[in-house]
Structure 1
């Protein structure tokens, strides 16, 4: 029996122990409803809500994406000081950032090697390493 988008969304929220409000379910359905991984900005997710007929403000989208990250359901990938992407795939993996089109995609993890990381300062630990490889067209 095929899982519906609403079932996927509800199950995903339950993994993060998040209450399934109408707005969370609507956004979760857009993010994971078809079972595919997504890289979205708050603005691109907000634009998708209009196409689905959902009434969700941009501020709610930002707050909900932050709640999804805090619950461990997504990772935020910062590509520069003013642009963040939110990734539904939460395992460690590198990304390509396509500068010409402002898109973030997964890069092949088996083709990258990190030989050594610096020691974390006293009283801290490394929680995650983000690898973003910026691409542009050759001239």
Structure 2
């Protein structure tokens, strides 16, 4: 009986350690869900959009510009040969990548999600710098 209790306790501790070692993913996401709904869900869970390409000279495609026009600064890029785009979020030192399928901003659906950081995470204050640059370019 004591051996069974010890084995069960060891198993629980192993599972707990394994669970704690796993990256934290957003919850409530489903394949094919509307990206706007998915985006609001992860933001509500505390994931913050990671502003991408602030001041790095990246040249956006027409599709990417249409997405940015809707305020989705977390867009990393969209594939040129298929209708996939990648968006990044951060929370408590973890990263989340959402991949979408669709050609128009209004028709984007969730294709996958994973704990993945962009190649180069923006420096603190990048959002503010990005917004300042956007406002300056809008003024002409």
Higher helix share: 2
> TM-score band, normalised by the shorter chain?
under 0.3
Larger radius of gyration: 2
The TM-score normalised by the length of structure 1 is: 0.27
